[in-house]
Amino acid sequence: MKKALFIVCIMLLSTIGVQSQSYMRSYDHHDFQIGYGMFTPDQFMNVNSTMLDEQFPEKRYVRDNYSGTGALFLTYRHVGKNENWMWGVTAGASANTSKIYNVGQYGGELKRTFITAAFEGEYRYRNQGVVQLYSGLGLGYTYGTETLTTPEQITSTGNISTIGYQINVIGVRLGTKYAGFAEFGFGYKGIINIGFSVQWF
């Protein structure tokens, strides 16, 4: 019995040793990122706004010829002691232009700019070697401004305020202290968010 218990203990210690060797601790718990997001929410959402409703009371306007700059974000994440959980803050901006048509008639050019600030949390479920995989959520506030310029060069302005969110289905970080990353999800960072990450002290 004692011999069997001794063997089991040796096996458990060996397993823990193998796991600790395969688990690559970075010991750098401050992650700074700069990212570029593509396919942001305004590209897919309804174009309606209070300002446009006032300009076109029949509310039969549509958007065409959409062109967006994408979203640029700066992010800080603190990596927990067990290196699985990360939490932090992010801030960024995006802009786009489009043409508005009302009942088939050209109504003018619409320019929109969005600024977002949010809190984020991530769970890293793989951290081995140069490969880290994670998923997470972000929640914050998005403030937008819009300007409509009619064919007669008359301008009207308005603002759009909404809850900002990001659902990060999967993120991939390749590297150790310095790394590139790609995230796939939906929200203020777009469907695809790629960039550069640095982990310090």
Domains and CATH numbers, the chain: 28-200 (2.40.160)
pLDDT digit string, tens, across residues 2-27: 444 344 344 333 433 434 334 455 55
In whole numbers, what is the pLDDT of the chain averaged over residues? Answer: 88
In this structure, the number of other CB atoms found within 10 A of the CB of residue 134 comes to 21
Higher-pLDDT residue of 122, 17: 122
Structure confidence at residue 127 as a pLDDT band (50, 70, 90):
confident
Residue 31 to residue 91: CA distance in whole angstroms:
15
pTM of the shown model: 0.82
Tell me: pLDDT of 39 over 80.
yes
What are the C-alpha distances in Å from 138 to residues 12, 64, 77, 135? 38, 30, 12, 11
Predicted confidence at residue 80, as pLDDT, reads: 86
Tell me: pLDDT of 200 over 90.
no
Higher-pLDDT residue of 29, 1: 29
Rg, Å, the chain Cα set = 24
